[in-house]
Amino acid sequence: MEQKPSVTVDIVLFTLMGDDLKVLLVKRKYPPFKDSWAIPGGFVKIDEQLDEAAIRELKEETNVSNVYLEQLYTFGEPKRDPRGRVITICYVGLVHHENFKLKASTDASDVSWYSAYSLPKLAFDHKDIIEFALKRLRGKIGYSNIVLGLLPEEFTLSELQRAYEIILNKQLDKRNFRKKIFALEIIKEVAGKMKGKFRPAQVYRFVSKEIGTFKVEFRPNF
């Protein structure tokens, strides 16, 4: 029997904070790449579903739970890990930055959110992986309600639009944005206004709590 590769899962977890798209990184406590930042992940157990492994690793390494996850791509370059052959099945995750407190595990000396638009030096091929994940997110935003993973249950149209703008890194026209979103019928008004310093805004929710693709294409070129 020939030798087997090791198999890991790694997770690119996005969230929105302020006007920025953030990625969750952990600081490695042990070699290789000791003290470098990396995306969270770890070995798949022998009897564990791949997505369960991703959920478990996220929880263990960073204390983050309750996340939308989807499989991204499998990276298997023979030399991507100096310790030997490691094939990694990568996931994209989305959360509304919220209730949980980040907490570094025993494997990590630190955990933190970093801007997806200005990343530190990263371990392994993790930079490529994050770029791949960002492409996926940008792609799917155009034909699915995937943003719901990044927003709270209730939100205003301006918040929704800001989410699109941050992810696409592009300004959108307010009137056209609203017209399209309504035409897609993916959100609905709920009673109540969001109060801020200025005029209160109508509150909305997604019609569905599940992430799925539209029947109708939506490519915002506003």
Partner DNA sequence: TCAAAAGTGTTGTGTGTACACCCATGT
Partner DNA sequence: ACATGGGTGTACACACAACACTTTTGA
Which of 40, 33, 45, 44 has its CA nearest to residue 61? 40
Beta bridge partners of 87: 7
List the one residue from 49, 120, 183, 192 that touches DNA (CB under 7 A): 183
Task: Give me the least distance between CB of 1 and a copy of itself, in Å please.
Answer: 9
Phi-psi region at 28: left, alpha or beta (left = phi > 0; alpha = psi -120 to 50): beta
Q: Using CB under 8 A, which of the segments 46-54, 116-124, 171-179, 200-208 binds a copy of itself?
A: 46-54
Q: What are the phi and psi torsion angles at 174 (to 5°)?
A: -60, -50
Q: Which does 131 bind (CB under 5 to 8 A by kind): DNA, a copy of itself, none?
A: none
List the one residue from 19, 99, 191, 198 that touches DNA (CB under 7 A): 198
**How is residue 79 written in tokens?**
């030399």
Report the C-alpha gap between 59 and 46 in whole angstroms. Answer: 19
Report the C-alpha gap between 28 and 31 in whole angstroms. Answer: 7
List the one residue from 29, 59, 87, 178 that touches a copy of itself (CB under 8 A): 87
List the one residue from 80, 156, 165, 205 that touches DNA (CB under 7 A): 156
Q: Is residue 76 a contact point for a copy of itself (CB under 8 A)?
A: yes
* Residue 7, number of CB atoms within 10 A of its CB: 18
Binding site for a copy of itself (CB under 8 A): 2-7, 43-50, 71, 73-74, 76-78, 85, 87, 89, 217, 219
Binding site for DNA (CB under 7 A): 156-158, 173-176, 178-180, 183, 195-202, 217-222
